Amino acid sequence: MKKQDCIKIRMATPEDANALLHIYAPYILKTGVTFEYEVPSEAAFRERIRGVLERYPYLVACRGERAVGYAYAKALGERAAFAHSVETAIYLSQEERGGGIGTMLYGELERILKRQNVTNLYAAVSYREREDETISHASPSFHLAMGYRKVAHFRQCGYKFGRWYDIVWYEKHIADHPEHPGDFISVHMLKKNTD
pTM for the model stands at 0.93
Domains parsed from the chain with CATH numbers: 3-194 (3.40.630.30)
Over residues 161-183, the pLDDT tens digits come to 999 999 999 999 999 999 999 99
Beta strands in 76-186 (DSSP E): 85-92, 120-127, 149-160, 163-173
**AA identity, residue 45:** F
**Tens digits of residue pLDDT in 114-136:** 999 999 999 999 999 999 999 99
- Using one digit for the tens of pLDDT, what is the confidence trace for 34-62? 999 999 999 999 999 999 999 999 999 99
Mean pLDDT of 71-79: 96
pLDDT of the residue at 191: 66
As a whole number of Å, the end-to-end CA separation of the chain is: 32
- Sign (positive/negative) of CA torsion 108, 134, 52, 141? negative
**Cα radius of gyration rounded to whole Å, the chain:** 17
